[in-house]
Amino acid sequence: MHKKPARHQLAAVAELLDIMARLRDPESGCPWDLEQDFSSIAPYTLEEAYEVADAIERNDPDDLCAELGDLLFQVVFHAQLAAERGWFEFADVVASINRKLIRRHPHVFANQQIASAREQSEAWEQHKADERAARGEEGSEGALSGIPLALPALVRAQKIQRRASRVGFDWTEISDVIARLDEELRELQEALAAGEPRERLQEELGDLLFSGVNLARFLDADAEAILRAATRKFETRFGIVEMLAQTQQRVLQDFTLEELEEFWQEAKRRTG
C-alpha cells in the first residue's frame, strides 16, 4: 500500500471533525449524539479500545483499520464535547500529545543517548514522574498516586507494582517472586482447610492473583494480555471438546468427568 500524502490525511481528519460537528449541531444534528456527554460516552471509549486490542490479537488488518477508526471517533467526540464547553479543541489534543512525545523522547529529538529498550522504558517512567512532580502530584500524595481506578484490575495492579519498584519497594530476584506466589497459595489452601468465611477466602485469592501479576512483570510480560491469551486457548480447546462430544451425538452433560478429561487431553494434543 502506498502512503497517502499528508494533505490527503489532513483532509480526512478535517472531514471527520466536520462530521462530528454536524452530528452535534443543536438544530440539525443526531438526537442520540446530542444527548451524550463525557460520562455516557466513556464506556464506549473503553469498549472501542478493547476491540482494537482484539483485532490486533486476531491479526486482522481490515478489522484493525475499522476499529481504530471507531476509537478515533471517540477521541473526536470527547474533543467536540470539550470544545462546546470552551475547554479545548481537537487541535489542542494533538498539540498536547506532540509536546509530550517530544519531551519524553530526548534521545530522538535532542542529544540524549539511550542504549536499550529497557533503558528507554525506565527513562519514560522517570519523565512521567518528573511531570507529576511538576504538577505537584508526586510526593504530596505518594508514589502510587494518579493511577486511574477505572483501569482493568490486572493493568492497574501491574502499574502499581512498577511504580512501587521505582522507589525500591521490590524483589531483586524472580525466585523471591515465585516464593511469594507459593506462600500466597499456601495461605489460600490453609484458609480453605480451616473453613474460613467467603470474605477471607476472597482476600487470600486476591493476594494470590496480585502475586501472579508481579510474576508477569518480572517476566517482562503484560498480565492482561497473558490472561486474554490463556482464555482464548481455553475457548479453542473447549470448542474441540464440544465437537468431540457431538461426534457421539451426546451433550456434554451426558459424559462423566473422566470422559470429558479424555476429550480435554485430545484437545490439548490438537492445539499443542
- 267 and 201 inside one domain: no
User: How many angstroms separate the CA atoms of 221 and 229, rounded?
Assistant: 12
pTM exceeds 0.85 for this model:
no
Distances (CA, A) of 47 to 43, 53, 113: 6, 10, 38
Q: Let me know if residue 164 belongs to a domain.
A: yes
- 204 and 233 inside one domain: no
Residue whose cell numbers read 486457548: 233
Q: Let me know if residue 134 belongs to a domain.
A: no
Last residue of a domain, one of 104, 135, 157: 104
Domain of residue 261: give its range. 225-271
What's the mean pLDDT in 124-138?
Answer: 65
86-117 tens-digit pLDDT: 999 999 999 999 999 998 888 888 877 776 66
- 210 and 233 inside one domain: no
Q: Let me know if residue 135 belongs to a domain.
A: no
Q: In this structure, are residues 220 and 161 in contact, taking their beta carbons and an 8 Å threshold?
A: no
Q: Let me know if residue 123 belongs to a domain.
A: no
Residue scoring higher pLDDT (212 or 272): 212
Asked whether the CA dihedral 177, 183, 185, 187 is positive or negative, the reply is: negative
- 60 and 90 inside one domain: yes
Domains held by the chain: number: 3
Q: Let me know if residue 174 belongs to a domain.
A: yes
Phi, psi angles (nearest 5°) of residue 255: -95, 150
Q: Let me know if residue 128 belongs to a domain.
A: no
The confidence score (pLDDT) of residue 117 equals 66
Last residue of a domain, one of 52, 85, 104: 104
- 16 and 87 inside one domain: yes
The confidence score (pLDDT) of residue 115 equals 66
What's the mean pLDDT in 76-82?
Answer: 98
Spell out the long-range contacts of 125-130 with Cβ–Cβ below 8 A and sequence spacing 24 or more: 125/162, 125/166, 126/166, 127/103, 128/104, 129/166
- 252 and 186 inside one domain: no
First to last CA, the chain: 35
Q: Let me know if residue 112 belongs to a domain.
A: no
Distances (CA, A) of 120 to 10, 109, 125, 169, 176: 31, 14, 9, 21, 26
Q: Specify the CATH number for the domain of residue 155.
A: 1.10.287.1080
User: How many angstroms separate the CA atoms of 83 and 81, rounded?
Assistant: 5
Q: Let me know if residue 117 belongs to a domain.
A: no
- 210 and 232 inside one domain: no
- 205 and 265 inside one domain: no
Burial (0-12, 13-18, 19+ Cβ within 10 Å), 191: middle
Asked whether the CA dihedral 149, 152, 153, 155 is positive or negative, the reply is: negative
27-40 tens-digit pLDDT: 999 999 999 999 99
172-222 tens-digit pLDDT: 999 999 999 999 999 999 999 999 999 999 999 999 999 999 999 999 999
- 216 and 184 inside one domain: yes
Q: In this structure, are residues 208 and 189 in contact, taking their beta carbons and an 8 Å threshold?
A: no
